[in-house]
């Protein structure tokens, strides 16, 4: 290829990009962590949270609060919104209270969640090495010494409890005498509506002194939300109402999930920009739906541990040769065979069974337990992805590559 041709291609890309600039006005407003100033249809919830947290302004401890609602119902946005408002007031009035936000699924473990809290109040904690109770007592000690007042928001708190039980929450909610005259209030945000039942009675009464439910958005409401976002982020006349309506309809019909809806709009807009179009229409939205799904899958595939990858591949092969009878037993045989080829030692049936359920929860396969009566009880394995998708995602992995041919 000559330099001239290169230049032509580059020119084309740049001029497309320049045209595309007509589409976006402010990219930020479509990002998933963007907190808009205006939260439509959430006034009742906002007032409730405000009332619950108001005692802070008099220096007293607000009730613990539990917030429920499915994903994308505005729980996080509403909470963050209130917190920024409160922080503004607090600074103005010189009230000393700390707000700490953390997402339990992001931080991952009990330990790291606590470490997050610790570092936010100015306590440096090694990222591993200490006993959890040690971290906790250090936090309590510091809070007592400095009579620190803090509100600790734990997002996706259900994740924490499912994985580790409610002991940490118990310790956190029952530490008030150990840190007085400071205090620690908890705000738990849960996607799981049945979350409360996982808690023991002692934690339940403490944590959910107040409760708040965020209902899903209707398609109508999603449309309004999307329109507001589009006005913030896109140029007027750069998008069709059909595109907006389709985004709302696609995400609304599932769970009233505003985050998904906004994601969809962003991806669609980026798609339109990349192709140099200056009008975002419903065609882009339809492509975006597929792209989001693809990205999610290939991302999950690439970060899989090596044995999980092999198990997944074995599942695909087994289902390919005999879709009707693809069971954990067959997959395990195939898996051992593949392991031999790579020279890896194969894991136990028990472990592979566990990996299969993990792949199921990731949505990469479906592993349904079925009974063949006299012929035993198995997981029926059904891959949710194609061999091509898998091989494309695995081709950067040296150990995996020569398992295809």
Partner DNA sequence: CGTCCACAGGAATGACGGGCGG
Partner DNA sequence: CCGCCCGTCATTCCTGTGGACG
Note the residues at the interface with DNA (CB under 7 A).
108-111, 126-133, 305, 307, 327-330, 345, 347-351, 353-357, 367, 369, 371-379
Bridge partners (DSSP) listed for residue 190: 68
Least distance in Å: CB of 365 to DNA?
A: 12
Structure tokens given for 223: 């449309």
Q: Closer to DNA at the Cβ: 8 or 134?
A: 134
Least distance in Å: CB of 349 to DNA?
A: 6
Closest CA to 150 of 96, 105, 202, 200: 96
Do the Cβ atoms of 73 and 222 come closer than 8 Å? no
Q: Closer to DNA at the Cβ: 127 or 404?
A: 127
Least distance in Å: CB of 356 to DNA?
A: 6
Q: Closer to DNA at the Cβ: 209 or 360?
A: 360
Cis peptide before 377 (omega within 30 of 0): no
Do the Cβ atoms of 64 and 152 come closer than 8 Å? no
Least distance in Å: CB of 327 to DNA?
A: 5
Q: Closer to DNA at the Cβ: 116 or 257?
A: 116
Least distance in Å: CB of 381 to DNA?
A: 8
Q: CA-CA-CA-CA torsion for 158, 163, 167, 171, nearest 10 degrees?
A: -60
Least distance in Å: CB of 304 to DNA?
A: 10
Distances in Å between the Cα of 370 and the Cα atoms of 318, 366, 377, 380 are 17, 12, 6, 6
Q: Closer to DNA at the Cβ: 130 or 279?
A: 130
- The beta strand positions in 63-209, using DSSP E, are 65-69, 98-103, 149-155, 183-190
Least distance in Å: CB of 139 to DNA?
A: 14
Q: Closer to DNA at the Cβ: 37 or 375?
A: 375
* Total length of the chain: 405
Burial class for 187, CB neighbours closer than 10 Å (0-12, 13-18, 19+): buried
Instruction: Please state, in angstroms and rounded to a whole number, the distance separating the CA atoms of residues 79 and 100.
Output: 11
Least distance in Å: CB of 370 to DNA?
A: 9
Least distance in Å: CB of 72 to DNA?
A: 26
Q: Closer to DNA at the Cβ: 14 or 372?
A: 372
Q: Closer to DNA at the Cβ: 4 or 348?
A: 348
The residues, any chain, with a CB within 8 Å of residue 13's CB and separated by 6 or more, are: none
Least distance in Å: CB of 404 to DNA?
A: 22
Dihedral sign for Cα atoms in the order 117, 122, 128, 129: negative
CA angle 258, 50, 92 (to 5 degrees): 115
Q: Closer to DNA at the Cβ: 12 or 369?
A: 369
Q: Closer to DNA at the Cβ: 91 or 324?
A: 324
Number of other residues whose CB lies within 10 A of the CB of residue 190: 24
Backbone Cα Rg of the chain: 26
Number of other residues whose CB lies within 10 A of the CB of residue 347: 18
């Amino acid at each position: 290829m000559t330099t001239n041709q290169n230049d032509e291609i580059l020119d084309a890309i740049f001029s497309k990009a320049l045209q595309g600039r007509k589409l976006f006005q402010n990219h930020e407003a479509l990002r998933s962590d963007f907190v808009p100033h205006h939260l439509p249809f959430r006034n009742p919830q906002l007032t409730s949270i405000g009332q619950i947290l108001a005692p802070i302004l008099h220096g007293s401890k607000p009730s613990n609060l539990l917030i429920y609602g499915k994903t994308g119902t505005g729980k996080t946005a509403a909470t963050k919104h209130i917190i920024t408002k409160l922080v503004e007031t607090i600074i103005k009035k010189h009230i000393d209270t700390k707000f700490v936000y953390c997402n339990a699924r992001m931080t991952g473990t009990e330990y790291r969640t606590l470490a997050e809290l610790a570092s936010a109040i100015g306590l440096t904690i090694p990222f591993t090495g200490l006993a959890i109770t040690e971290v906790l007592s250090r936090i309590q000690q510091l809070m007592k010494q400095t009579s620190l007042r803090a509100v600790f928001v734990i997002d996706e708190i259900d994740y924490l409890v499912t994985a580790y039980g409610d002991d940490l929450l118990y310790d956190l909610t029952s530490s008030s005498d150990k840190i007085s005259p400071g205090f620690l209030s908890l705000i738990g945000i849960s996607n799981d509506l049945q979350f409360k039942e996982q808690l023991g009675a002692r934690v339940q009464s403490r944590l959910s002194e107040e409760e708040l439910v965020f209902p899903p958005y209707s398609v109508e409401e999603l449309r309004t939300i999307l329109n507001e976002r589009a006005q913030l982020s896109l140029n007027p006349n750069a998008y069709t109402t059909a595109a907006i309506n389709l985004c709302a309809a696609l995400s609304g019909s599932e769970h009233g999930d505003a985050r998904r809806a906004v994601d969809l709009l962003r991806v669609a807009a980026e798609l339109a920009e990349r192709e140099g179009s200056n009008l975002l229409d419903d065609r882009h939205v339809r492509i975006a739906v597929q792209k989001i799904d693809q990205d999610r899958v290939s991302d999950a595939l690439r970060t899989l541990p090596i044995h999980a990858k092999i198990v997944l591949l074995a599942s695909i092969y087994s289902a390919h040769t005999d879709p009707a009878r693809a069971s954990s037993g067959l997959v395990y045989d195939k898996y051992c065979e593949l392991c031999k080829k790579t020279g890896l030692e194969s894991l136990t049936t028990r472990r592979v069974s566990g990996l299969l359920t993990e792949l199921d929860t990731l949505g990469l396969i479906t592993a349904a337990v079925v009974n063949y009566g006299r012929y035993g009880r198995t997981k029926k394995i059904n891959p949710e992805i194609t061999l091509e998708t898998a091989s494309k995602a695995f081709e950067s992995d040296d150990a995996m590559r020569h398992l295809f041919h």
